[in-house]
């Protein structure tokens, strides 16, 4: 028999050994190509091995397989792991996915003991278990990365708690704020993003293992044992739900989409602030690139790419939503399309988070440019109106009207509010006194915003202190739980 004939016979034998005697011929090349997922799901090998070991332990403890078979399975799976990690493992598209690859190689290593591993489980619950484990691991990595990101933001905010900059609405100068206050807004967003991820972890942390194909199994298995062994809080209550639900992956993608949107907004501000028109910051060589034709250029490419990635991440969420929206219970092959977008979205988001942490650690603002911009556009007009309310007991709407008239006067004189004379202001409102000039500087404006959550430097420092304590408490809690 030729080598080619032997190869065809082996391929057919591999398929029949996995699918049983129902099929008399192997799939066509096109079917094999569309059916195989090994090209992307091989990254689940660690989760698959962990799940198989837990399953083997449970099968042995319930007397479904012998202790000797369990030990052989464990030893064989460790050999498979070593081969994969050493790059010595052979992948065959005919075996479809990482689950079949590991099982097939295990059987080659340990014989019949390996064939007993799949007792009382299906690829349906096996895949769902592996995928949940992988998503949980990704969330736990993100939790650590967020701790570093938030800490970096806090360092920037602390350094610049007094650095004055313009606050914007509609991208128009609105009121003076501090750079520390501005950065603390992103700290709040990042805190919520981190919390959403951990909420997502809590909901996904239930085990599908033992649900089998869709209806459970007649073997006397212990699903609580495997759930505990794999670090799940409990087994999933319904076997149909266990194998057919991917809302945990959708929730992860939705959470990452929100978080990526926050990173994108910060990235967009870095892009704006780095332009000569703003001049609020200078990008270092570490996170910028040059131009192939214009030697003076320093392009904020890292920030721009972070800004763009949210499209891919939210696109992954929408794509998976469309896969799942019309599927009847329980499992359909459509669900093989769940992993690739999640893997890519997680990879993209992780890169964005690490890159943004690096950019913020390298953050080099230009306080003088920020201070000069903060004084433009009559940014202390609200302070003038508030003074009229507070000192002259004027209704705010009337004060708003008077202030608007004074702003119009300053525009006509081509000067700032603080540069108007008292006589000029009194021509609009005779009761105004020289005390008005105490509130018209940007420094006075910022210092006056002492309401909870306001931009006054003392507020900013208090919020930084509270955020650092929250970070420390979460770190202590994480250490205690581990």
Burial of 117 (0-12, 13-18, 19+ CB in 10 A): buried
Calpha distance 450→448 (Å, rounded): 6
Calpha distance 182→217 (Å, rounded): 56
Distances (CA, A) of 156 to 175, 180, 275: 21, 7, 20
> What backbone phi and psi angles, to 5 degrees, belong to 136?
-65, -40
Contact 407, 424 (CB under 8 A): no
Cβ-Cβ contacts under 8 Å for 12 (sequence gap 6 or more) = 25, 26
Cβ-Cβ contacts under 8 Å for 317 (sequence gap 6 or more) = 250, 253, 254, 256, 257, 345
Q: Which of these is catalytic: 170, 292, 451, 482?
A: 170
Calpha distance 345→174 (Å, rounded): 36
101 classed as catalytic? no
Contact 197, 143 (CB under 8 A): yes
Q: Which of these is catalytic: 13, 28, 286, 291?
A: 291
Cβ-Cβ contacts under 8 Å for 56 (sequence gap 6 or more) = 65, 69, 70, 73, 74, 117
Tokens 């900059």, residue located: 165
Dihedral (C-alpha) 357, 362, 367, 372: value to the nearest 10 degrees?
A: -70
170 classed as catalytic? yes
Contact 125, 242 (CB under 8 A): yes
Calpha distance 44→134 (Å, rounded): 7
Catalytic residues: 170, 291
């Amino acid at each position: 028999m030729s080598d080619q004939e032997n190869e065809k016979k082996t391929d057919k034998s591999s398929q029949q050994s996995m699918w049983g005697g129902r099929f008399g011929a192997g799939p066509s090349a096109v079917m094999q190509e569309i059916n195989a997922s090994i090209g992307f799901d091989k990254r689940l090998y660690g989760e698959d091995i962990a799940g198989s070991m837990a399953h083997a332990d449970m099968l042995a403890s319930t007397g479904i397989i012998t202790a000797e078979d369990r030990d052989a399975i464990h030893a064989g799976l460790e050999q498979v792991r070593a081969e994969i990690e050493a790059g010595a493992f052979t992948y065959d598209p005919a075996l479809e996915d990482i689950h079949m690859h590991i099982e097939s190689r295990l059987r080659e290593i340990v014989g019949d003991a390996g064939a007993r591993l799949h007792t009382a489980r299906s690829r349906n619950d096996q895949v769902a278990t592996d995928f949940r484990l992988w998503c949980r691991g990704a969330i736990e990595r993100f939790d650590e990365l967020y701790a570093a990101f938030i800490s970096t933001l806090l360092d920037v905010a602390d350094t610049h708690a007094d650095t004055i900059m313009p606050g914007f609405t509609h991208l128009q100068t609105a009121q003076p704020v501090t750079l520390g206050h501005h950065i603390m807004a992103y700290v709040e967003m990042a805190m919520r993003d981190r919390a959403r991820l951990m909420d997502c972890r809590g909901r996904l942390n239930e085990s599908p293992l033992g649900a089998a194909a869709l209806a459970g199994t007649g073997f006397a298995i212990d699903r609580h044992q495997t759930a505990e062994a794999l670090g799940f809080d409990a087994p999933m209550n319904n076997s149909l739900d266990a194998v057919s639900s991917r809302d945990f992956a959708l929730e992860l993608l939705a959470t990452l989409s929100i978080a990526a949107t926050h990173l994108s907004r910060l990235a967009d501000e870095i892009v704006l602030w780095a332009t000569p028109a703003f001049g609020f910051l200078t990008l270092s060589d570490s996170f910028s690139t040059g131009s192939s034709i214009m030697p003076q250029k320093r392009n904020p490419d890292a920030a721009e790419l972070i800004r763009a990635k949210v499209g891919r991440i939210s696109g992954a969420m929408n794509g998976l939503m469309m896969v799942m929206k019309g599927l009847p219970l329980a499992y359909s092959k459509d669900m093989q399309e769940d992993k690739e977008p999640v893997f890519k979205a997680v990879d993209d988001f992780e890169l964005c988070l690490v890159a943004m942490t690096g950019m913020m650690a390298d953050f080099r603002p230009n306080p003088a440019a920020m201070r000069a911009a903060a004084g433009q556009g009559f940014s202390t007009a609200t302070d003038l109106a508030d003074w009229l309310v507070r000192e002259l007991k004027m209704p705010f709407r009337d004060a708003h009207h008077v202030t608007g008239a004074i702003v119009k006067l300053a525009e006509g004189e081509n000067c700032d509010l603080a540069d108007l004379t008292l006589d000029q202001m009194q021509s609009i409102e005779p009761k105004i006194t020289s005390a008005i000039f105490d509130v018209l500087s940007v420094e006075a404006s910022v210092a006056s915003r002492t309401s909870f959550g306001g931009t006054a430097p003392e507020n900013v420092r208090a919020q930084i202190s509270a955020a650092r304590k929250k970070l420390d408490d979460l770190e202590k809690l994480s250490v205690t739980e581990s």
